[in-house]
Structure 1
Amino acid sequence: MTAKYSFTATCPKGLENVLAEELRALGAAVEREQPAAVRFSSDLAMAYRTCLWSRLANRVLLNLGHERVEDAEGLYRAVVEIPWEEHISPTGVLWVQFSGTNREIRNSQFGAQKAKDAIVDRLRKVTGARPDVDKRDPDLSVMLRLHRDKLEIGIDLCGDSLHRRGYRTHIGAAPLKENLAAALLVRAGWPEIAEQGGALLDPMCGSGTFLVEGALMAADIAPGLMRDSFGFERWLNHQNDLWLPLREEALQRRVEGLQKPLPEIRGYDADAKVLFAAESNIARAGLDKHVRVSCRPVGAFKVPSHRPVKPGLVITNPPYGERLGEQEELRETYAELGRQLKQEFGGWKAAIFTGNPELCHSTGLRSHKQYKLFNGSIPSQLLLFEIHQQRDSEGGSSGERTKPRLSDEAQMVANRLQKNLRNTGKWANKNGVSCYRLYDADLPEFSAAIDVYRSVEDQTYAHIQEYRAPATIPEDKARARLSELVRATRHVLDLPGRNVSIKERRRHSHKDSGSQYQKRGDAAQAFWVDEYGAQLEINLWDYLDTGLFLDHRPVRQYLKQLSAGKKLLNLFCYTATATVQAALGGCTESTSVDLSKTYQAWAQRNFRQNNMDPYRHQLIEADCMQWLQAAQQNRRGHYDVIFLDPPTFSNSAKMRGVLDIQRDHGELIRQCMALLSPGGTLLFSNNLRSFKMDEAIQSEYAVENLSSTLLDKDFQRNPKIHNVWEIKAH
């Protein structure tokens, strides 16, 4: 009589019922489903078959026992009673894995150590020798799971996880595990579609996992056939006479499967480099004559035309982005996918697996079925679609690109942006202003600022800076509103996602803290804009600020007039855009001081772009407060014009002290006035909304508030955006 054993097959969370169906089809007697696992009973041959043929399991464990365990001693007793001498040679290599805790066993490493001690002690007592312990290539892997004081003890029959088939040596940026890809294909109905001769296409195939797994199914190839070995082959109770016929059967089925005509299986990707990985994986799986990949963007995705293709399944795992900016850029990718599916794939089925199901709304398709799953630890969804034949009246010609419909909230924002464009945008065009503020929390529930930048290459960009939402607004609601604002901006300005920069949860202010020196993300392209003849470098992505304070546009123009034929000192100069304007206006000499290496380098690029003489226009990397003190002590030369634009507050590690502009502005102004030439002018600016000029300063010098005068139309809705004071000696 054939002996029956108890086994547990593990799988990704959410696939328990699919795995149970697969095990039944293989011939196993399924006992029950449990989180990320299915228990079944069978003979040893059935367990071998499962290791070889399961497309969905991670591991197959031979269950040796389950005991109630409350503490470390109970754990030791439960493990030491098992006859380990029947499973591993005392000269073999052992590895023990332990998961779970309880009130007494609070650390999985401690649990693994205690279980290992029990196994080694048992073998030493029975055989007089003990095995080595090493996780690399062990002869026996023991797996223990403790849950609610119940300990399950098993032997891993697989060795390496079953998802590692052996064909994927090259992977893309965010690859799916092979067994998860296989499960998604099963959920999408691919086995039935393949049986009927339908095609399998992936428009964003990456390293080709869907394609290979789909081909293995269509050709009846066992997924474990490419593995070098299984864990059970070094198990003392292994029965090779059961294993070898199963392997021979699988080899024969592979030959027969590849001899029959397979359905069309093709993948596409816009990244030629990742297609090299796909081609390598396909060839290693022995499927290079049956699976093809091509370099093609999503917008050109069509039914292959080289031969008649029967409608089948389009399946893909598109990127979904971690940051909102990435997600907004991907909306166009999803929208393109939806357009191509509707225009080219009527009568097909489609499946999209994503960690951001909300992005799928951009496809314009409505899913008829959804499955909640996990991609590793990421909650994800598989959405299934039926693609219907599109009527001409619905979509126009195949080459026509229509904007996706906005939600009611996004349309409300779009209406306001269009109104602002008619006013502020018209003013900007008339006055030659290429960078301006389009929106500044005009609608209170959409609390952000939107700036428009037009480059010298005539590319339009949007810079969206979210203001911090009130504590009463839930985080998810605030994020949803920002997303609607971004959609409306792209819609009104007709911008691709790559031309939109989004800064979340940051109030826009000029140099409010040291954080503006730090990169905000991966390097992105900078570009040049023209401001009244000056070419200035803009970077919307890498830092908190962009390189140009738009509200200071009229301040820079006033400095340009003041500095003609004069000598300028620019303190806290940032990227020195004010100095550039002054130089173009006829400033004879300038000194620009800032503590940041980043801004000094940026200023240098601005100087070079505008052909400024480095001998007449000097950049100094220094703490401005220390530089001022040293200038007074050394009695350095005087300046005709000084521009003082400090941050509201700074405690940079490079500074000796802390700058608080309300507290310290009096001393800063006096130090600057000491460096002014007779008849000279100090222009003092800051962005502290509650700022009050020191009365003593107003009595010592001639002080005039120019804040409202030096404010252009695009910032007049926010008159407290900056303070500007002109200060002269009496």
Structure 2
Amino acid sequence: MSQKTYHFFISCQIGFEEMVKQELLHLLVAGRKLAQPTIDLIPSTWDIGSPEQVQALYHGLSEQYAIQVKVGGVSAKLELYQAYQFMLWSRVAARTLLVLNTSYVEDDLDLYNSVYAMPWSSILHPGFDFKVNFNGTNAALKNSQFSALRVKDALVDYYVNQQHERPNVSTEDPDVVIDCRLHNKQLQIALDLTGTMHKRYRSRQGFAPMRETLAANLILRTGWDKVSPVYNPMCGSGVLAIEAVLIALNIAPGLFCEQHHLDYWQGHDLSLWIEVQRQAKNSRLSDEQIHPDFKVYASDNDKAVLIVAQQNADYVGVTSYIDFKLQDITQLQRQEQAPTGLVIVNPPYGVRLANERELYHTYYNLGNVAKRLFPGWIMGVISSSTKLLDCLSLAANRKWNIKNSNLDCQYRVYSIRNAQDKAIKASKYANNQAKDTASLAEQVSNTSSEQTSQDVTSQGNIDYQAYLQDEQAMSLYNRLVKNAKRLNSYLKRAKVENYRLYDADIPEFNVAVDVYTDSKTQQKYYVVQEYAATKEIPLHKSVRRGLQALAMVQKYAIEQAKGAYTPQVIDKLRQRQKGDAQYTKINDQALEILIDEYGCTFKVNLTDYIDTGIFLDNRDLRYYLRSLVVQHRTRFLNLFAYTSTASVHVIKAQAATTKSIDMSNSYCKWSAENFSLNKAKSTKDKIVQSDVLAWLEHAAQEEARAYDLIFCDPPTFSNSKRMEGTFDVQRDHVSLISKINQLLAPGGTLIFCNNKRGFKLDTAALEQLGLQITDITRKTMPADFADSKIHQAWQISKI
């Protein structure tokens, strides 16, 4: 075997340099220890001395082979068979480059001359197709594409002038790849002997692919013993799962690379290359050698991606070692009883795949599942969002900043503690709740298996069982029961089926829970709207509170249903919105039902918007409007009409005419649907799409004194593109009411309300307009909103 050494630069992802060096040192140690150069790159089982002796050995090898760590790679002087071994066995390197020359270049002429002066006829056999990869710039060579073109020109000119066959450029499938790296004025010219070493087996990718080299790096960083089982939820195209098998079975990953560019290099030893490949193939562990505990369990909730993962595993022949399952993270169950193992996950980041709100729940579920199922295990999770990683509620042993493709990510490794350590502080409480929890958990499990994609919450499945024994969460459940009992007589007496059950009664649970009843089926829907937490509250804590709330609403809903129907819980993030944000679409599930309110039928959409199409707190205010109608005489105007629910009530009271005005085309169409549902199709009932403020400007003259009853429920603030300027209800309400006053007939009435917290009506200014004002807030506030300050309302009469 030749003892000649060659200068190599092994490139890698920035941050992987030390691991590449360790791989190289392990390989060199294995070559010394074993009779044949077959190797195990994880030397934990080697008997090669004390840590001090190992350190000394590594130091000696580093000097002997001139191993140096540089930015983006490792340089070394290796014998040919050692280089071949590294090409096959490295799991984390990107390319293996044979350094041909380093030179000083200042401009494109220097570059051309440096390349042309090289003895290419003694380096490469003629007749090859090639491409040039050029990285780096300096003051004169500012364009890497131009620099690559100059390298190409020099190489082609050399072969033509030497009267050899002219090499052709091939960017798709070249025989030879010339790699040039320029740093300031220092140029390195090399042959890329391997191509991209991460391209091993992925015939197709998932939506968020991970390179094989990164996957192997993540696994190796955990310190996994490579014999215990591995769980890979959210496995995507299966890269992490497959790399774990390759490591455990001592399979050389380079055997699956098809881009080696060796054939035209004159230093290539084909017989040695074939022998090194044979040895690598023979190093794979047999079934008898594999530890009985080893198995990889990979799962994903995307069937199409899971099929790709199985195809990739088939390609490398490891399908029998991976148990693929189509399941959500919340459905994950242990398939073995090993005391230790590895959970490794590349969950969605929210950059490419899902919105951030969905992912808060996903990460919380992941953390809860890990604590519940895998105490004593190691878990590694990578994400581009540290906020999402915080939602795992786990303390990391190690953290690394790392790149996944072009995304800046953080990789955290955890030692999972036993979930019992934090479960329930009061053992008496646990004993009292155990039976109820077990029963509820069974109901939740049975219920979720029957529900469709629209049945559960809009953000996806929730691991409810993780919260059912939480004492603080149970305080919310108890409040739901208490509120229901308090409201029961009112709901029955008033025949109210759609109401607010809970509205941030407990400070820790800053949510609203509204109950909607399908008028056709009597099935109940529970809409959980979570108010945005203040900046002082950490994100992961507010998300946990939201999930606890969902779990308790689910518990309450199941118990209320008593098996008569499948309860449905919809989770909607409700931030403190400004302007027209309530009209912004947030989803496309279109879970629509019909509800009844005092004999009126309305369509509500429980999923797609911040609000559902009806303001429940205005329920009694709408009924009060109805009481003010004089049959066949009252002319009614509804400003900022939204879905015109107030107009429908007035129509039911047989008003003479109605006009409903709103700027949103979507809500005008919705108003028309509500009219149709209530058989209000007369030409006397009009819906007008218009900016209310602009409409009022011309209506003052065209429709002066034309209305006996006007309802105005303006937004707190609006800066819609469809209107000129902005509207602030506190600033502009006197001007608004002054314009409305011009439309009121003598003795007419305006019902004015708004939802701005702390709003103060300027009664003095309005009284100067000759208006009489009566506060009707308490009179028209429903019992389910009695303790809230959700709106204020006034009856303003024209004297």
Residues 482, 639 of structure 1: CA spacing in aligned structure 2 closer, same or farther, 3 A cutoff? same
Question: Which residue of structure 1 lines up, in the alignment, with residue 236 of structure 2?
Answer: 206
Question: Which residue of structure 2 lines up, in the alignment, with residue 353 of structure 1?
Answer: 381
Greater Cα offset, 222-231 or 144-153: 144-153
Question: Which residue of structure 1 lines up, in the alignment, with residue 798 of structure 2?
Answer: 729
Question: Which residue of structure 1 lines up, in the alignment, with residue 775 of structure 2?
Answer: 706
Question: Which residue of structure 1 lines up, in the alignment, with residue 624 of structure 2?
Answer: 558
The answer as to 2:193 corresponding to 1:178 is no
Residues 24, 574 of structure 1: CA spacing in aligned structure 2 closer, same or farther, 3 A cutoff? same
Per-residue CA distance 1:433-491 (angstroms, 9 max, x = gap)? 62367239x97xx9x9632222324343322232775xxx7xxx664664465456457
Residues 165, 673 of structure 1: CA spacing in aligned structure 2 closer, same or farther, 3 A cutoff? same
Question: Which residue of structure 2 lines up, in the alignment, with residue 45 of structure 1?
Answer: 81
Alignment of 1:659-678 (within 5 A): 668-669=736-737, 672-676=740-744
Cα deviation, residue 170, structure 1: 3.7
The answer as to 2:752 corresponding to 1:684 is yes
Question: Which residue of structure 1 lines up, in the alignment, with residue 461 of structure 2?
Answer: none
The answer as to 2:7 corresponding to 1:6 is yes
Question: Which residue of structure 2 lines up, in the alignment, with residue 647 of structure 1?
Answer: 715
Question: d(CA) in 2 for partners of 1:171 and 1:115?
Answer: 30
Question: d(CA) in 2 for partners of 1:99 and 1:613?
Answer: 71
The answer as to 2:435 corresponding to 1:435 is no
Cα deviation, residue 704, structure 1: 1.1
Question: d(CA) in 1 for partners of 2:672 and 2:7?
Answer: 73
Question: Which residue of structure 2 lines up, in the alignment, with residue 217 of structure 1?
Answer: 247
The answer as to 2:580 corresponding to 1:579 is no
Question: Which residue of structure 1 lines up, in the alignment, with residue 200 of structure 2?
Answer: 165
Residues 189, 567 of structure 1: CA spacing in aligned structure 2 closer, same or farther, 3 A cutoff? same
Greater Cα offset, 628-637 or 221-230: 628-637
Kept in 2: contact 1:685–1:722 (CA 8 A): yes
Q: 2:147 aligns with which of 114, 129, 149?
A: 114
Question: d(CA) in 2 for partners of 1:172 and 1:648?
Answer: 45
Kept in 2: contact 1:338–1:365 (CA 8 A): no
Greater Cα offset, 64-73 or 243-252: 64-73
One-letter amino acid of the counterpart of residue 403, structure 1: Y
Cα deviation, residue 165, structure 1: 0.8
Residues 270, 567 of structure 1: CA spacing in aligned structure 2 closer, same or farther, 3 A cutoff? same
Residues 389, 725 of structure 1: CA spacing in aligned structure 2 closer, same or farther, 3 A cutoff? closer
Question: Which residue of structure 1 lines up, in the alignment, with residue 467 of structure 2?
Answer: 403
Kept in 2: contact 1:96–1:112 (CA 8 A): no
The answer as to 2:157 corresponding to 1:124 is yes
Question: d(CA) in 2 for partners of 1:659 and 1:90?
Answer: 77
Superposition CA RMSD, Å: 4.8
Cα deviation, residue 420, structure 1: 7.7
SS in 2 for 1:334: helix
Question: d(CA) in 1 for partners of 2:391 and 2:582?
Answer: 34
Q: Report how many aligned residue pairs link the two structures.
A: 691
The answer as to 2:362 corresponding to 1:333 is no
Kept in 1: contact 2:226–2:247 (CA 8 A): no
Question: d(CA) in 1 for partners of 2:660 and 2:10?
Answer: 69
Q: TM-score, normalised by structure 1?
A: 0.77
Question: d(CA) in 2 for partners of 1:117 and 1:152?
Answer: 15
Kept in 1: contact 2:203–2:312 (CA 8 A): yes
SS in 2 for 1:137: coil
SS in 1 for 2:259: coil
Residues 299, 482 of structure 1: CA spacing in aligned structure 2 closer, same or farther, 3 A cutoff? closer
The answer as to 2:665 corresponding to 1:597 is yes
Question: d(CA) in 2 for partners of 1:13 and 1:535?
Answer: 63
Question: d(CA) in 1 for partners of 2:703 and 2:419?
Answer: 82
Residues 651, 501 of structure 1: CA spacing in aligned structure 2 closer, same or farther, 3 A cutoff? closer
Per-residue CA distance 1:365-417 (angstroms, 9 max, x = gap)? 7666666644333322242436779899999799674528989xxx6xx7997
One-letter amino acid of the counterpart of residue 624, structure 1: V
Cα deviation, residue 539, structure 1: 5.5
The answer as to 2:512 corresponding to 1:451 is yes
Greater Cα offset, 545-554 or 52-61: 545-554
The answer as to 2:571 corresponding to 1:500 is yes
Cα deviation, residue 119, structure 1: 4.2
Q: 2:96 aligns with which of 50, 60, 72?
A: 60
Kept in 1: contact 2:132–2:151 (CA 8 A): no
Cα deviation, residue 519, structure 1: 3.4
Kept in 2: contact 1:437–1:451 (CA 8 A): yes
Unpaired runs of 5+ residues, structure 1, are: none
Cα deviation, residue 245, structure 1: 3.0
Cα deviation, residue 67, structure 1: 5.2
Question: Which residue of structure 1 lines up, in the alignment, with residue 313 of structure 2?
Answer: 282
Question: d(CA) in 2 for partners of 1:488 and 1:289?
Answer: 39
Question: d(CA) in 1 for partners of 2:146 and 2:569?
Answer: 52
Greater Cα offset, 284-293 or 365-374: 365-374
Question: d(CA) in 2 for partners of 1:465 and 1:292?
Answer: 41
Question: d(CA) in 1 for partners of 2:748 and 2:707?
Answer: 7
Residues 426, 310 of structure 1: CA spacing in aligned structure 2 closer, same or farther, 3 A cutoff? closer
Unpaired runs of 5+ residues, structure 2, are: 32-64, 442-464, 492-497, 518-522, 558-567
Question: Which residue of structure 2 lines up, in the alignment, with residue 523 of structure 1?
Answer: 588
Kept in 1: contact 2:108–2:150 (CA 8 A): no
Question: Which residue of structure 1 lines up, in the alignment, with residue 57 of structure 2?
Answer: none
Q: 2:688 aligns with which of 601, 620, 624?
A: 620
One-letter amino acid of the counterpart of residue 178, structure 1: E
One-letter amino acid of the counterpart of residue 354, structure 1: I
SS in 2 for 1:231: coil
Q: Percent identity between the aligned chains?
A: 27
Kept in 1: contact 2:219–2:344 (CA 8 A): no
Q: 1:267 aligns with which of 285, 294, 298?
A: 298
Residues 641, 225 of structure 1: CA spacing in aligned structure 2 closer, same or farther, 3 A cutoff? same
Question: Which residue of structure 1 lines up, in the alignment, with residue 23 of structure 2?
Answer: 22
Kept in 1: contact 2:218–2:380 (CA 8 A): no
Residues 331, 25 of structure 1: CA spacing in aligned structure 2 closer, same or farther, 3 A cutoff? closer
